[in-house]
Amino acid sequence: MATYSITINERTTFGKQLLLFLKGLGLIKENEKKGIDATLKACDDADKVHLIHYKDMDDFKARMYAL
């Protein structure tokens, strides 16, 4: 199996149609999310993280040095 890299201008009608066709065939594998998709994923990841709140800097230092 070979891997090919091609450049498709998504701004043209032909480019959009070609991209949709190739995605429909399952031939395109996107490596990373960009734009709003990446932002939404980052927001979802942030919601899943357990956040620790500190009263002030002294409280923060006390908890960090206790570890």
> What digits encode the pLDDT tens for the residues 14-30?
999 998 898 888 888 76
Averaged pLDDT, 2-25: 88
Record the tokens describing residue 21, joined without a space: 């066709």
Quick check: 49 pLDDT over 80? no
Residue 33 pLDDT class (50, 70, 90 cuts): low
Give every CB contact of residue 63 below 8 A, 6+ residues apart in sequence.
Answer: 52, 54
Per-residue confidence (pLDDT) for residue 18, from 0 to 100: 92
What's this model's pTM, rounded to 2 decimal places? 0.42
Quick check: 50 pLDDT over 80? no
As a residue count, the chain comes to 67
**Burial group, residue 18, by CB count within 10 angstroms (0-12, 13-18, 19+):** middle
